[in-house]
Amino acid sequence: MHSRVFVLATKEEILSGDYQIPDSEDVLSAIRYADYVGDISTGEKIKEDIDWFKVIYGQKTINGKVVFTPGGGDRVVGYKINVEAFKKALEKIFDEVLEKVREDLEKSKNASGLDKSLIIDSIHYTTECGGFYFFTSDNSIINETFLYYILERDWKDKDVYIIATIDYHM
């Protein structure tokens, strides 16, 4: 399965040049079962991945493209995330995941040892939500659940942009 790491940065980080883009080793070491890292895309090349992001999370989660020229240096193209719409989309995904886990736990009540192991495997697969990961300014590749925490706690009143994408395979 091919999927993506979305590289995120706040407006302040972009303007100050205080952002990073991970390399393939970062991706391989952070994502369980990742066995291949493809292209790292920036600028106009990420438009197709932004469209994919909007299919998964909703059209209203991206508020358009902004081109930055921090300190007169290289151009940085960022796609602004509508944080509130994105958080709502994540909450809907979390509800669906929790419902599936509830169903699996209900099935486990009278299950045999083998069936319990299969149920646990199902829960593990279910809670690995999607295949999208996110790279943040603290140099971490994180999943949707931890990203929600950062959006709520650290980036509550910040403008957040997708500035690059990384193709990977599991």
CA dihedral angle for residue 159, residue 142, residue 55, residue 80, rounded to 10 degrees: 10
Domain that holds residue 138: 2-82+131-169
The 3-state DSSP class for residue 67 equals: strand
* Integer Cα distance of 71 and 16 in angstroms: 8
Please give the model's pTM, rounded to 2 decimal places. Answer: 0.88
Does residue 112 form part of some domain? no
- pLDDT for the residue 78: 96
- Evaluate whether residue 21 is within a structural domain: yes
Q: Which residues of 129-158 are buried (b: 16+ CB within 10 A; e: fewer)?
A: bebbbbbbbeeebbbbeebbebbeeebeeb
What is the pLDDT, as a whole number, of residue 71?
75
pLDDT of residue 130: 57
- The pLDDT value given to residue 56: 93
The structure tokens listed for 74 are 């290289």
95 belongs to a structural domain: no
Is 144 inside a domain boundary? Answer: yes
pLDDT tens per residue, the chain (170 residues)? 568 999 999 999 999 988 999 988 888 888 877 888 888 899 889 999 999 999 999 999 999 999 998 877 789 999 999 999 999 999 999 999 899 889 988 888 888 888 888 888 888 777 775 579 999 988 789 989 899 999 999 888 899 999 999 998 87
Number of domains in the chain: 1
pLDDT for 115 equals 86
